[in-house]
Amino acid sequence: MKQRLVPGSLGEGVVSISLETAASSFAVNLRRLIYFHHWSAREAAKIIGVSEHAMSAWLTEKRKPGLDSIMRIAGLYDIDPRLLSGEPLAFAKELADPERIEHAEANIRHAARGVGAVTPLRRKRAPKEV
């Protein structure tokens, strides 16, 4: 909803009111993930195995991906699927992990050539303290 004010009216000084929703975390995080790895949305769609139309719909929030697509994205880019729709700061920290970057780049190269399977990186976790 946008309003235009008439000069001299009681509401003078207020420029406009806009009720726009912020982009979803998924759309923002997917866009970051694609461009971080130097792909276009078109190239990423091909590698992930979806149509360009589907990728566009996800990035513009017209549609949400199915669970199988989320898992393919997470596997290809070696990212925790929960982080795709999670908080942007936690996502950015994971995105910048050097070990994840190296493994994701290998997955992307393999997927682009059609060689081998995309495998998630098995990270060693620190033991929990009791």
Residue closest to 48 by CA, chosen among 31, 27, 71, 80:
71
Q: How far is the C-alpha of 68 from the C-alpha of 30, rounded, in Å?
A: 15
Burial 115-126 (b: 16+ CB within 10 A, else e): eeebebeeeeee
Q: Determine the pLDDT at residue 39.
A: 83
pLDDT in tens for each of the 130 residues of the chain? 555 555 555 555 555 554 455 567 899 999 998 888 888 899 889 888 899 999 999 999 999 999 999 999 998 888 889 888 888 888 888 888 888 888 888 888 888 777 555 555 555 544 455 5
Quick one: angle between helices 41-48 and 67-77, nearest 10?
110
Q: Which CATH code for domain 25-113?
A: 1.10.260.40
Question: How far, rounded to the nearest angstrom, does the alpha carbon of residue 110 sit from its chain's CA centroid?
Answer: 21
